[in-house]
A and B are shown apart, each in its own frame.
Chain A
Amino acid sequence: MIEKNKTEKISAEKLNIASQWKLMRWKFYRHKVAVFSLILLSFFYFVVIFGGFISPYNARQNDIRYKNAPPQRIRFFDEDGKFHFRPFVYGIEAEFNDKTFQTLYIRKTDVKHPVYLFVKGDPYQFWGLFTTDRHLFGTEERAMFLMGTDRMGRDLLSRIIYGGRLSLTIGLVGIACSFLLGITIGGISGYYGGRIDRFIQRTIETIRSIPTIPLWMVLSIALPPYWSVVKVYFGIVIILSLIGWTGLARVVRGKFMALRKEDFVMAAILNGASEKKIIFQQLLPSFSSHIIASLTLSVPGMILGETALSFLGLGLQAPAISWGVLLKDAQQIRVLANTPWILFPGLFVIITILAFNFVGDGIRDAADPYSAI
C-alpha cells in the first residue's frame, strides 16, 4: 500500500517537474534579448567547432607582404557604383613612407579579388580526422583580411576564430569543474549544517576576501613553464575553478538551507528515505533551474579570468592562441595606435560576456516562479 503510494507520488512529481520546465522555457522565450543572445552564442560555438573550415586562413600562416594590414570590406559595388554579382575585395599594397617610417596600405581599385565559397587555401586537419584545404569562403590568392592582420601578417579573423576555441571553451570547462566542487561542498555545507557548515563558510569567506586576479596570477605561475598548451589550458581551468566554486557553493547552500525546512523534504525524511536519495531525488531537481542560471552567470568571470591572465602573459602563452593572447599584442601603445584593429578580439570578449549575462538573466527570471514578466 505504502509502496503504491510512493510510486504514485513520484509520477505526480515528474509531471509537476515537466510542466515547470515547460513553463520556464515559455517564460524564457518571452525574454527577447536573452533568446537573441542564446542564438548568438550558439552561432559562436558553431563557428568555433568548425573553425578550421570557416576561418579563411590558417591562424599561424604569416605573410610578409601583408604586415599590419587594415581590415578590408567585402564589396558588391565597385568605385563606379557598378553592381557585381560575385562579391570581391580590392587589392592592397604596402607603401613605405620614409618620413614617418611607417608602412601605409593603399587600396588598388584596379585589382579585384573575387570571393568564392568552398575555396582552396591553407591545409588543416578537420577534427583530427583528415586533412583538407577547403575553406568556407575566401579569395583564390591570399588577399582577404576582413579584420586586418597582425605584425606578422597573420589574418586576424582566422586568429580570432582559432582563439575562440580556447577562450570560449575554457569558460565551459571551468564551469563544469566549479560546478562539481561547488555543488559537492555547498551541498555538504547546506545539508549537514552545524560545525561542518561553519567551517566551510569560513573557508569560502576567506577565499572570497582575497582579490581574485592577484590570486589567479600567483597560482598561474605555479604552472611549470615546460608544460604543453593542452596542459597549461587545463591548469588554467583548474586555477579558475579553484576560486570560482565559492559563489556556486553559496547558492547551493542557501537553497539547501531553505529547502531543508520545506514540507516535502521533511516528508521524505519521515518516510525513511536515505540522505543520498533525498539529495539527489528531491533537493537537486527542485532548484536545478537556479543552478543553471548561476552557472551561466559565472561563465563570463571565467572567460574574463583567462583573458586577463593571458593578457598579462601569465596564462596561455604565445604559440597558443586565445583572445587574451591576441590582446597581449595591444599592450604596446604604439602598436595599438598604429593598428587599432588588434582590439577586435576584445570586441568578441565583450559580446560573449554580454550574451552570457543576458542568457543567465533570462534563465534566472524564467526560473523565478514569482517574477511576472
Chain B
Amino acid sequence: MLRFILHRILWMIPTLLFISILSFIIIEAPPGDFMTTYVSRLREQGEDMGQVTIDGLRARYGLDQPIYVKYFKWIRGVVQGDFGQSLEWQRPVADLLRARLPWSILISLSSLLFVYLIAIPIGVYSATHLYSKLDYFFNLVGFIGLAIPNFLFALIMLWFIFQRTGNAAIGLFSREFLMAPWSFARVIDLFKHLWLPALVIGTAGTAGMIRIMRANLLDELSKAYVMVARAKGLSERKVLYKYPFRIALNPVVSTIGWTLPALFSGEVLVSIVLGIPTIAPIFLGSLMGQDMFLAGSIVFIMATLTVIGTLISDILLGWLDPRIRESI
C-alpha cells in the first residue's frame, strides 16, 4: 500500500509541473501587462505618469525580464509559499489566498458531501427498482438538474430569498456573527448559510453521479458473484451491500478526479452570484483588472487542489480495490 501511495505521488509531479507552466502562461498571456492597464486607468482619470516612472515600476515588479527568468522566479516563490504581490490589492497574493481560500474549499467540500449523500442512495434505489415510477422521476429530475446552469439556479434561489426576506446578501454568516469570534453558535449559523451554495453547486454533479451509481450497480448486479452470494444463503440486504454495492462504489470514488474541477467551477460562479466572500469574487476582479499574479496563482491553486483531490481518491480507490493496489 505504501508503495502504491508513493507511486501515485511521484505520478503527480509532472502534472503539477505542467499546471505551473500553464498557470504562468496565463499570467503572461494577456496583451500588455498590469502596468498597461494601470496607466490607462490613470489616464482616464486625467493623471499621467512619465515614461520613466512607468519603466521604473516595470523594473521593480520584474515585468521587463525574459519570460523563463520570470517563470523560475515565480515558481521558486510558489514553492516557498510566496505567490508574489497582488498589484491591485497592494498585498501579498498569499495573504489574500489564506483569507479567502478556506471558504472556497469549505463550500466545494460541502457540495461534494451533498452530491454523495444524495446521489448514492438514489442511485442504489434506482438500480434496485429499475423502471419503477420513482426511477423515472429521479431520472427526469436528474436531467433537469444537469440542464440548469449553476449561476442561473443561484439567481433563481437568490430571487426567491429576496422575495421572502428582502435580504439580497446571502454570505456565509448572519450579520451578528459576521465579525464574532468562533463559537458553537457561529458554526451553527455557518451551516445555516452553507446549505444553499452546496445545494446549488451540487445539483448538476448529483444528477451525473446518480447515473453513474445506477449504471455501475446494474452492471455489478448482473455478475455471477451476486448469485453465488445469494446461493450461500446471505440475506438480500447483505447480498446487495457487501458485494455489488461495494464494487459499484469504486468508479464513484474514482470520479472525484473530475467532480472536483466541476465543483470548483460551480463554486466560482455561484459565489459570485450569491456574493459569498470566497476566492471567486477576487478572482473575477483580478481578471477584470489584469492583476495576473493573483489570477494565475488562483488557477494554479485550484488545479493543484484538484490534483491533490484526485490523489486522495486514487489512494482511497487503492484501499477499496485490491486489484488497483496490486496492479503497479
Contacts and interface: CB of A to CB of B under 8 A. Distances in A.
A–B contact with Cβ pairs below 8 Å: the answer is yes
Contacts of A372: none
B284 A211 contact: no
B309 to A, nearest CB: 9
A350 B147 contact: yes
B14 interface: yes
A213 interface: yes
A307 B149 contact: yes
Interface in B221-273: 257-258, 260-262, 264-266, 268-269, 272-273
Contacts of B159: 333, 336-337, 340, 343
Interface in A204-222: 205-206, 208-215, 217-219, 221-222
Contacts of A202: 14-15, 18
Contact of A304 (B29, B149, B163): B149
B287 A221 contact: yes
Interface string A298-328: 0010001001100111100000000000010
Which DSSP category, helix, strand, loop or mixed, fits chain A's interface? helix
Given A214-B298, A308-B151, A337-B162, A209 B143 contact: no
Interface string A227-253: 000000000000000000000000000
Nearest to B149: A304
Contacts of A311: 151
Nearest to B21: A206
A349 interface: yes
A208 B265 CA distance: 12
A102 to B, nearest CB: 15
A214 B307 contact: no
A337 B163 contact: yes
B168 A314 contact: no
B303 A210 contact: yes
A145 B14 CA distance: 57
Interface string B146-162: 11111110011011001
A197 B163 CA distance: 54
Interface stretch (A11-19, A45-53, A352-360): A352-360
A234 B43 CA distance: 31
Contact of B261 (A211, A300, A308, A357): A211
Of listed A202, A208, A217, A314, residue having the most chain B CB within 10 A: A217
A194 interface: no
A349 B149 contact: yes
A331 interface: yes
Nearest to B16: A206
Contact of B18 (A206, A222, A336): A206
Interface string B108-133: 00000000000000000000000000
Contacts of A276: none
Interface in B4-33: 14-15, 18-19, 22, 26, 29-31
Contacts of B18: 202-203, 206
Contacts of A211: 260-262, 264-265, 268, 302-303, 306
A307 B152 CA distance: 10
A334 B303 CA distance: 35
B216 interface: no
A314 B166 CA distance: 29
A224 interface: yes
A203 B14 CA distance: 10
A172 interface: no
Interface in B90-142: none
B86 to A, nearest CB: 16
Which DSSP category, helix, strand, loop or mixed, fits chain B's interface? helix
A58 to B, nearest CB: 26
A218 B287 contact: yes
A353 B284 contact: no
Contacts of B147: 300, 350-351, 353-354, 357
Contact of A333 (B15, B168, B272, B287): B168
B295 A331 contact: no
Contacts of B306: 209-211
B303 A209 contact: yes
Nearest to A347: B152
A153 interface: no
B324 interface: no
A337 B262 CA distance: 29
A109 B268 CA distance: 47
A358 B144 CA distance: 11
A312 B284 contact: yes
Interface string A331-373: 1011011001001001001110110011000000000000000
B310 interface: yes
A221 B30 contact: yes
B299 interface: yes
22 contacts: A202-B15, A209-B261, A210-B303, A211-B264, A211-B265, A214-B264, A214-B268, A214-B298, A214-B299, A218-B26, A224-B31, A312-B272, A313-B288, A327-B151, A331-B155, A331-B273, A340-B159, A343-B159, A346-B156, A350-B152, A351-B147, A353-B147
7 tightest Cβ-Cβ pairs between the two chains A and B: A213-B265, A211-B264, A353-B147, A211-B261, A354-B147, A333-B168, A210-B303
Given A300-B147, A350-B148, 18 more contacts: A206-B18, A208-B258, A209-B303, A210-B302, A213-B264, A213-B266, A217-B268, A218-B29, A224-B31, A300-B146, A308-B151, A336-B158, A346-B149, A350-B147, A353-B149, A354-B144, A357-B143, A357-B146
